[in-house]
Amino acid sequence: SLFISLSKQIKHFQTITIPDLRTQFNNRQKLSSYLAKSIFVFNSGGNDCAQECSGSVRKEKCASDEFLESLLANFTHQLK
């Protein structure tokens, strides 16, 4: 599957990316400074929205506030 869940992406960041970055910096303070200046881009829920809308006959189902709020709640939970 081409899909990697957000929780798995976060786990990879914690277990692979951060340890790799630690080897590239002399100390934690330099790494923390680097990460504080970094920009993180997240793209989440696109597959969920596409799946929700692809089978939708009624267009309003695609823009369901309840569905989008659910995605946002999941995204917020994953980032904590």
Chain segment 8-21, per-residue pLDDT in tens: 888 898 999 999 99
Query: Do 11 and 31 sit in the same domain of this protein?
Result: yes
Per-residue confidence (pLDDT) for residue 48, from 0 to 100: 63
Quote the domain boundaries for residue 69: 42-80
Query: Do 53 and 27 sit in the same domain of this protein?
Result: no
Query: Do 31 and 53 sit in the same domain of this protein?
Result: no
Chain segment 31-67, per-residue pLDDT in tens: 999 999 998 876 666 666 666 666 655 555 565 777 7
Per-residue confidence (pLDDT) for residue 71, from 0 to 100: 75
Query: Do 27 and 9 sit in the same domain of this protein?
Result: yes
pTM of the predicted protein model: 0.57
Query: Do 36 and 62 sit in the same domain of this protein?
Result: no
Instruction: Give the 3-state secondary structure of the chain.
Output: CCCCCHHHHHHHHHHHHHHHHHHHCCCHHHHHHHHHCCCCCCCCCHHHHHHHHHCCCCHHHHCCHHHHHHHHHHHHHHHC
